[in-house]
Each structure stands twice: as structure tokens, then as C-alpha cells.
Structure 1
Amino acid sequence: MQNLTSRQHRLLKLLLQNSAPLTLPLLAQQLEVSEKSIYRDLQSIELWLVDWHIAIEKLPGRGLRLQIGDMQQRAQLEQHLTSEEHWSEGFSHNARRVKIASQLLSESPRETSISKLSERYFISHASIVNDLRVIEEWLQPLGLLLVRSQSGTHVEGSEQALRQAIVSLINDVMQHHTASNSLEPRLDPGSYQALIHYFGEQDVAFVQALLQQMEQQLSYPLSDAYYINLCTHILIMMHRMAQGNALSLPSALSSPELDSRILLIARQMVTRIEQRIQAPLPVDEVGFIYQYIVSSGIVMEERGNEMAAQYQFASEESLKITHELIRCFSELIQRDVSQDRLLFEGLLIHIKPLINRLKYHINIRNPLLDDIKNELSEIFSLTQLAMRLTAKHFQLSTVADDEVGYLCVHFQAALERQIAHKRILVVCSSGVGTSHLLKSRILRAFPDWIIVGVVSANNLSRFCQQETVDLVITTIHLDSTDLPMVYVTAFFNDDDIRRVTEAMIGSQLPHTAHCAMAIN
């Protein structure tokens, strides 16, 4: 039986908990993803449910629901889903555990007791002990220890690890928080609500003003994901420093390679923060903010055919790594993409801050990672292989999937650019009107393509001997040919467009299993 992703898990639970039909738009809204993503997840869930002898019933105009024979079967499935759920997923969706973990991290190294936690959250000592066990498992990979003794319970670890753990919790709240009516320009509603929940509106407004001035001084904007990351870390720093918890970053400001202009901006930001919290900050906090600025991605605007300003943000190291990454990817897919200027410049913008994030052990969250893994699974795997080879060549640390997801999108776009100007043959057995409709809809979806002909099945072989054809699009089932072929409906809907795109890109790729051999 295949494993379900965390989102598919949540989708199946929604269907299980509702006997009334649910529409695709409603499910997409509930899980904050596209209807296309929901459609794909449902296909995986249908396969997973085969072993349970349960089907997804589709009711035209009303939605879909699970076809479950009796209450006992429903209860068994619900029990299985609950027991199968990974402990970290359970942690993320248990608001009480998140609150307890937040308290322990925020107050570290101060101790609390099981009795105090039991009284605060109105649950038994046994439940608190179980919560602490789950929290302890969550903390271990983050380099933190949950210390329990007769005098009390507290979290031990470096200040940097503590702050990173708090970020992880806040990110989780951001991801699952309901939307609000906030119109904050740089923070999405979920992120804004999560931050004011932890730090209050006034501090959030102060940090936003601080970052607005920073971007004006830098003369370029940070992309939203990095803006939120920096905003969150500064708020945590203010909160921790107000409690007297200073950060120690050995040799943070001693490197001769530091950018003096960004270092000055970081110092000015720390001065304003000191005025805000009315307390002096150690010089290491300047290094802390500097590291996050140089590790942040930026927004670049395209202006016609003008050369973008990517190169001012590049270094010799990032140029070499970008070239090597493209070379590795080209070798894996056995197709040269090194001449794609947009690919090179797009990757270059990401690589330099990526190098800094690896150097400073800064983690980022890619909110689209699940969608990327589901919808671009093959390209994601190939990008992962190419990045692993590149990292090995340059002796870099392991690059996380969140980072690979951002790189993967650039390679996907490059491959989609390569399928432009293709020669398409349409095979259609319907009337002339239907053939013309199909042809016009193909060209509307792929305006750079050339329809070299619309023929019957009988004339397919003879036509292909006379003309160069890159793809056959057909409304009828045909005998297999050496050419890529996609079966579509006469009306060429969104699903047809997706299948055609995947077929064209897939025809450019070798089998992923063969690529994996390149690592060994």
C-alpha cells in the first residue's frame, strides 16, 4: 500500500468526517492549495483506498464523498489514519503541544513544573507527561534537550538553536492559521496573525517599518518568504533580549569578506532596536541580522531584453556552482540546457544566498514544497540528484528539500521553454468542425506550436514519413508509434493541456532510475 502525503492525509480526513458531498473548490480552500493539486491528491487517495474496498463517489454538480458501507468500516479507517499519523504531524496539529513547546522555548532556561502545566492547560499530569515526550522527540533533531528533574522541566541548548526552534513553531502556525482581513502589504494574513499572536501588533508594526527602511537602503526588495523569515527572527531576537537572553556568534563579524554596506545597515537596525527595547544589544546581534540579510533571496524584475542586475549579486563561487549545477542537470537529462540565459540568471540569484544559508546554518521554509513534489516529482528528483552532485563537487553541506524545491522550479521552466516551436500532428476521426475546434484550442494553449496537419488514423504512418513530427495529439486510440503520443478529448480541456505538457517534457527526460546510477 502506498504512503499518503501529509496533505493527502488531511484531505482524506476531511472526506471521512463529512458525509455530505464536498466540492473541489471547497476542498482546495480548506487545504489552501489549487483545485489541480486536490484533483491529483484524490487520484492517489483513490488508489490507496482500493485495499479498503472504499471508493470516492462523484456526484455531478454536488461534489464528492466517500462510499463507505457501514459505521464499523468508517471507524476502522478513522482509527487507522489516527494511528498511522507521524508523531511530528500530530505535534503540528495539536494546539496544546505547540503552546507548551512555545512556553518552554520562550522561557528557557527558566524551569516550569508538570503541575503548573497541568493547571494551566486543564489536563491531567499523565497527558502533560505524554505531551512532553512528543515535544522531546521534536526538539532532538534541532539540537535541543528537554531536561526533566526534581526541580522542574526546561529546554537546554544554544541561543541560536532555541531561536530556530521558535521559528519552526511560528512557521507551523503561519501555515495552518485561518485567514484574516488584514491588508498588510508584505505579510500574508496567516503570517500576520501568527506574528501578532506571539509578539503583539506594536512590535510587528515596528519591525515592518524597520524592514521597509532596510529595503530602501539596500535599493532592492527581499522576496516575501525571506522577508517573513527575517521579520520573524528579529521579533524573536527582541523578545529573547528583553528577557536577557543574548546570542553568541563566534567570529560573526571577523571575516574580511563581509559586505561593509550591508554591515552598516545591520548596525543601524540594531541601534533602532536598542531604542525600542530600551536595552543595549551585544555586537553579535549585528552579525545575526547581517547573516540573515545576506542569506535572503531578492526580487528581480524583468525589463524586456535588458541584462538583469543578477551579476551584482553574484560571486565567483556562486557563478561556478551555478554553472556546475546546470552541467550536472544537463548530463542527467541527456539534454543541454546551458544556453538558457533565463535559467542561468534565475539560478544565480538563488545560489549566492543559498551558499550563505549553508554557511550560517539558516533554514528556510518553502510553502510550495508539497505541491512541487506532487506536480513536478520527476524534475524535483533530477534537481535533487544534480544538487547532490554539485554539493559533493564543492564540498558543500547537504541542501534541504525546501531549497531544492526553489531550484526545481527554474529547471521546470527551462524545460517548458524548450518545448516551444514544436511540430504537432493532430489525429481526429470527428467532423471538420470538431477538428478545427481542437486545432484552435491547442494553438490557444501553445501559441508557439505549429500544427503540421490534421489526419485520420489511416494516414498517420504515411504523413509521418513525409513530415517531421514532434508529438501526436489524438482523440482516438492508436497503435503505438515511436513518436510521443497523447490521447485527448475533442474539447482539449485543462486535464488535456496538463497531459500534453507532461508528455512533451517527459519525452526529454531519461528514466529517473537510470539517473540515480550517476550518484553511485
Structure 2
Amino acid sequence: MNNDYVDSKQRKFLIIKRLLNQEHLSYQQLSEEYYVSRSSIANDISYTKNLFSKEDLALTFDNSGTFFEGTEVQIQRIMKRIVLNQLNNGMPVSLFISEELMEKVSLGFYKALNEKQIEIPESYVQNIVVSIVLIIQRARENYFIQLDGTNQYGKFFLEFDKYPLVYGLLNELQEKDIYHFSQDEIQYLTYLIVGSGLRFFMKDKAIPFAFRGKVRFLIQKVSEGLQTDLTQDGRLEEDLVVHLYQLILRLEAQSSVVNPLIEEIKQTYPALYGVVWLFALADFCKPYQIALSDDEVGFVSIHFQAAVERVKKMHKILFVCPNGIGTSSFISAKIRRILPDVNSIETATISTLKEMDLSDVDFIISTVEVPDIEKTVVQISPMVTVKDMKRIMNHYIDLIIAREQKKLPKSEMANETKNFIAKNILFQNFSTKEATLKFLLDQQTFLNEELREQFESSVWERERLQSTYLDNGFAIPHGSPEFVEETTITILILDKPINWGNQKVDIIVLLMIKEEDTRKVESVMELVMQGIEDKNWFISKMMEVRE
């Protein structure tokens, strides 16, 4: 194969496309074809492996070279991830899909949505459109989706013959003679479309009560892990019920979504992401035998973070006004309009201010000068001008940002966490996941051998359900809390990385958490997420606190 010069980014995607077309490619062959060193090709293959692992897929190697052995559904999942990432970053997608076809499908699908008055979030519409384009384009190249017919989730959730609107949406494309869908393709897209616009296709109250119970339990467990009660947040429950119900349907179609904010979510809310990842996997997913991608965990984390923000409403604003109740009521109404999340606005006079307990007051707004007060004072005019409203809003934003920045810097570690892990930091060398996990489990103390066996079985069951790989070489194996006698966290740092499913791991954190000690999870997960961001810092910190 004779190739013109391509840059490294183009070369990566060309190699991926060839692998998805089921070519067997050797390092030497690629090196000669693209006129680059074998080390450059090794970097390309490493990038490809990492990309595939995001869909929990892996490349295969034999004497003929590197290749991908997967179904057409899996191939299209990889292609969709690449295309969506490129679209989100404003990059051309013509290597993987026809932009002309993309435009035709997009116009036809949006027309069908508008005619049938169906509302689906914009990001999900893009996900659906790209899926449809890939089905059409791959079919024209004689690659067809074939489902195995198990429908293990569908039989519990939906009977799709009740949703002719889905067929109507696809029929719009058929009538334009863009493509005629097979039964398998219609079934695949039905799960995907209904799983993206559930609120239109099914009323919230029709979702099974047992499913709602599982969502409530998930909220309870995450609340315990975050040490913040979110169980009374009705909006969180409703949003999660619909989101997770849709998620089940998307997974039935073996489809995934790309979360363009995933890295920002991990960096900005590390503890929350870690706690959601842990409990979403351990408690919610197990009954359904499903595995969540980082992207899906990120979307669920956004719902929880929104609830946390609602809990973190400001305590109180104190309004100082000498001009009587009429003026104070007028200004209070104006403040509430621009700061709807404020719990209370209390009014005081200058003479009463010095006698008041201001400990729960976030800041003071006053129409007069307020002397000798430690709290920040925003002085405004009695008419509350636009400039005054901007000044109040700016201080409100500054206050929120200041609260976010109060977290411990990365160089510090809470004493409780330090004491908790100091005796269980190990440095060893193993060559397999099985040997590593066996070693870690053997280090644990159980008074009851039956509980030991049950806990160890639950750890292996968790690994069977989904790899506990988190990111950047970290794995967090864990078992069922009901079999834990004493909460213990053991950290093992390996000399060399080992295979952990489709990933390489060199830091393993074994969690043994009793039900009543769930509160200890947040600080540990925050530590782990900081380590994922800076592994060298994490290792040096472990060496420092190790006893």
C-alpha cells in the first residue's frame, strides 16, 4: 500500500479505520507504509488500545499482526465515539462518515421530530443521527448490524410495538429514499431513540416502582459516601429515574454516549465522581448485569453535583436599611429575583446590628455605610439600580468560587485518611491480575472464614461484572459490605504494570468498607482521584505516610 505523507493524528485514525475494517496490521508493515519508525507506530497502537478500552474492547495480536475481532455493533460504537469527539472539537469527520449523508440524515430526522413534536436533548439527537449515518454507510459497504435476540433488558422495560412513533421517525428517512432499515437495525435504533427521549415516549409514572426503589437506594448510598443528605431532593430522584432508565435502554442497543465534559468532571469534582463510580457500579448495576463507561458515570455525577449545589445554598443575607418596612420589602424582593437560591433575607437596622450573631450570615447588603463589621458589606442605593444588582451578583459569584477553593490542596492529606491507610501500603511485584488480587485478599484478617470466602467471592463477582479499572493505571477492586468485619483499605503499588482487563494497572486499592463506615469513602476516593491526576505525587505521598 502506497501512502502519501500524513501527519501523526491522521495516521492514527487511518490505522484505526483499517483495524475496524478487520485488516491484520504488523508494526513493520505500518512503519514501511507510512514512512515512520516502529516506535511511532507503537505510540499509534497504544493510542488505539486506549480508545478501544473506553468501550471496554481490546485489540488482538497473533503472528500476522494486530487486529480487531468484534461485532459490527462494537465496530460502530468505536466509530461513533471518534466521530462525536471530532464533532465536539470542531474537527472534520469525513474519514469515517460522509458529511453529505450526515447532513441529509440530520435534516430528515429533525424534520420528523418537529412534525411529531418530539423533544429530545440536542446532545442525544447528535448521538442518534451519527448512529443512523453509520448504519447506512456501513451497510452500503456490506457491513450489517445483527442482534443476538436476547433482549434481556427490553423484556423488563418496554414493549416496543407500543411506540409506533419510533418507526415513524425512521420512516421519514425511508420515504426520502435515503435508506431502508432492516428489522435488526430498527430494533437497535428503537432502543437508542427511546433511550434518549424517554419522557416523550413514556410518562415518568409508568416506570416500575421497583426501579424507583433502586434509584432511591443509590441516592442513599451516594449521600452516605458524600456525607451530604440528598435523599430529600425530589428533583434529583426524578432526573435520575429517567436518566438511568434511558441508560438501560441505550445499553440494550449496545450503544454508548460520549461525554465531552468527562475530564473536567473528574478534575473538578474528584471525590463525587469517585463515590458515584463506586456505588453506581456496586449497588445499582449488579442486578442488571450492566457495565457503565466513564462517560455514563460522568453524566450521573452531573445530576448528583446539581443536587449538592442545591444543598449548598447560602445561609442568610442580612439587609441593613433605616428607611422602614416598605423599602426593605421592595429591596428584599429585588434581591430574591437575582439570588433565588438564598435561604433567607433578614432585615436589621444599624442600631441592632452590633448586638446580632452574624455567624450564619453570608454577607450584608446595606443602603447606608456600615462601620466596624467583619462580614463583607455590599452598599447599594435604596432604588437598587442595575449597577447595584451587578455588584450583589458579582459578590455572590465570588463567594461561591471561594467556597469551591476551600478544598485541601493536593500536597495535604486529611489526618483521618492518613491514619486509615498508613499500615496498609504495600510495594510488590506481580505479573497477573489473579495473583495480585489473591495476594491482597490474603493480607486481610477475618475472624469468620465463611465471611472471608463470601467477601472474596463478591470481589471476583464484581470483577466479572465489570473491570474495576478507574483511570491512569489505578484499579479499585471491592466486595460486598455485608461480608466485611472491619473496614480496611489496602494500597498496593507494583514495580511494573500488569493487565487488568483491557487496561494496564500498577496501583491497586482494595476497599473493604462496612456499611456503617461509608462516610470514609469520600476522602479515600478524593485521594485516589488526585493520584489519577498526578501519579508521581500519589506514590511519593504513599511512601511518606507508610508505617
- Regarding TM over 0.5, the answer is yes
Asked if 2 retains the 8 angstrom alpha-carbon contact of 1:426 and 1:472, the reply is no
Identify which of 365, 368, 373 aligns with 2:266.
373
| Candidates 232, 241, 250, aligned match of 2:139 | 241
The 1:155–1:443 alpha-carbon spacing in structure 2 relative to 1, beyond 3 Å, is: same
The reply on whether 1:450 has 2:354 as its aligned counterpart is: no
The structure-2 alpha-carbon separation of the partners of 1:94 and 1:473, relative to structure 1 and needing over 3 Å to count, comes to farther
Name whichever of 247-256 and 110-119 sits farther off: 110-119
- Amino acid across the alignment from 1:156: E
Residue range with higher mean Cα deviation, 225-234 or 196-205? 196-205
Aligned residues: 375
Tell me the equivalent position of 1:345: 238
- Deviation for aligned residue 1:361: 3.6
CA contact (8 A) 2:259 2:298 kept: yes
Task: Classify the secondary structure of the residue corresponding to 2:50.
Answer: helix
Aligned partner of 1:262 in structure 2 is 163
Amino acid at match of 2:12: V
Work out which structure has the larger RCO, using CA pairs closer than 8 Å and 6 or more positions apart in sequence.
Answer: 2
Corresponding residue to 1:470 among 360, 366, 369 = 360
Of the three residues 166, 172, 197, the one matched with 2:79 is: 166
Paired residue secondary structure (1:350)? helix
- Normalised by the length of structure 2, the TM-score is 0.54
How much does 1:495 deviate?
Answer: 7.3
Kindly provide the CA deviation profile for residues 136-158 of structure 1, in whole angstroms up to 9, marking residues without a partner as x: 533663434355766x8754322
CA distance in 2, matches of 1:418, 1:124: 55
Alignment of 1:150-299 (within 5 A): 154-177=67-90, 193-194=92-93, 198-216=96-114, 219-251=117-149, 256=155, 257-262=158-163, 265-266=166-167, 269=170, 272-273=173-174, 276=177, 282-297=182-197
List alignment gaps of at least 5 residues for structure 1.
1-92, 179-192, 301-308, 428-438, 476-484
Q: Does 1:326 align with 2:219?
A: yes
* SS of the residue 2:255 aligns to: coil
Q: Any conservation in 1 of the 2:127–2:257 contact (CA below 8 Å)?
A: yes
Residues 258, 416 of structure 1: alpha-carbon distance in 2 compared, 3 angstrom cutoff: same
Tell me, in whole angstroms, the C-alpha distance in 1 between the residues paired with 2:262 and 2:108. Answer: 29
For 1:32, the equivalent position in structure 2 comes to: none
2:238 & 2:280 partners in 1: Cα distance? 17
1:269 partner amino acid: L
Q: Per-residue deviation at 1:322?
A: 2.6
CA deviations 1:416-435 (Å, max 9, x no partner) are: 434557334699xxxxxxxx
Instruction: Return the letter of the residue paired with 1:171.
Output: L
**In structure 2, C-alpha distance between the alignment counterparts of 1:440 and 1:504, rounded to whole Å:** 28
In structure 2, how many angstroms separate the alpha carbons of the residues matched to 1:426 and 1:153?
70
1:134 corresponds to which of 46, 68, 74: 46
Using the alignment, how far apart are the partners of 1:324 and 1:236 within structure 2? 38
Contact 1:266–1:289 (CA under 8 A) maintained in structure 2: no
Residue 264 of structure 1 and its aligned partner are, at CA, apart by 6.7
1:497 correspondence with 2:497: no
Contact kept in structure 1, 2:109 and 2:169, CA below 8 Å: no
Amino acid at match of 1:340: D
Cα offsets for 1:302-350 (capped at 9, x unmatched): xxxxxxx851563334422332233334444555443433223222221
Tell me how far 1:289 sits from its aligned partner: 1.0
| Post-superposition offset of 1:294 | 2.6
Q: Distance in 1 between matches of 2:37 and 2:90?
A: 28
Question: Which letter does structure 1 place at the counterpart of 2:11?
Answer: R
The equivalent residue for 1:517 is: 520
Distance 1:95 1:380 in 2: 30
Q: Which amino acid aligns with 2:345?
A: I
Change (3 A) 1:502 1:110: same
Distance 1:153 1:236 in 2: 24
Measure, in 1, the Cα distance between the counterparts of 2:189 and 2:259: 21
Q: Is this contact kept in 1: 2:28–2:38, CA < 8 A?
A: no
SS at match of 2:159: coil
Q: Does 1:414 align with 2:304?
A: no
Secondary structure of 1:199 counterpart: coil
| One-letter amino acid matched to 1:174 | L
Q: Which residue of 2 aligns with 1:5?
A: none
State the AA in 2 paired with 1:265.
Answer: V
> Which residue pairs with 2:463 in the alignment?
none
Distance 1:373 1:381 in 2: 8
Deviation at 1:102, TM superposition (A): 4.3
The aligned runs of 1:60-99 (5 Å cut-off) are 94-99=8-13
Contact 1:145/1:155 (<8 A) preserved: yes
1:201–1:170 CA distance, 2 compared to 1 (3 A): closer
Q: CA deviation at 1:250?
A: 0.6
Residues 100-139 of structure 1: pairs in structure 2 closer than 5 A? 100-105=14-19, 108-110=21-23, 121=34, 123-124=35-36, 126=38, 129-130=41-42, 133-135=45-47, 137-138=49-50
SS at 1:133 equivalent? helix
* Structure 1 contact 145–157 (Cα < 8 Å) conserved: no
Moved runs in structure 1, 4+ residues, more than 6 A?
A: 112-116, 439-444, 485-493, 504-507, 511-514
Question: CA 1:133–1:410 in 2, change beyond 3 Å: closer, same or farther?
Answer: closer
Q: Is the contact between residue 318 and residue 347 of structure 2 (CA under 8 Å) also seen in structure 1?
A: yes
Q: Taking every aligned residue pair, what percent have the same amino acid on both sides?
A: 20
The match for 1:61 is: none
Name stretches of at least 5 consecutive residues in structure 2 with no aligned partner.
1-6, 321-331, 366-373, 380-390, 408-413, 418-516, 525-547
Contact 1:471/1:504, CA 8 A, preserved across alignment: no
Q: Secondary structure at the match of 2:356?
A: helix
Contact 1:421 1:450 (C-alpha < 8 Å) held by counterparts: no
Separation in 1, partners of 2:302, 2:211: 19
Q: Distance in 2 between matches of 1:162 and 1:217?
A: 32
Q: Which amino acid aligns with 2:77?
A: Q
Deviation of residue 109 (structure 1)? 2.8
Query: 2: distance between equivalents of 1:412 and 1:505?
Result: 16
The separation in 1 between residues aligned to 2:403 and 2:43, in whole angstroms, is 48
Change (3 A) 1:94 1:393: same
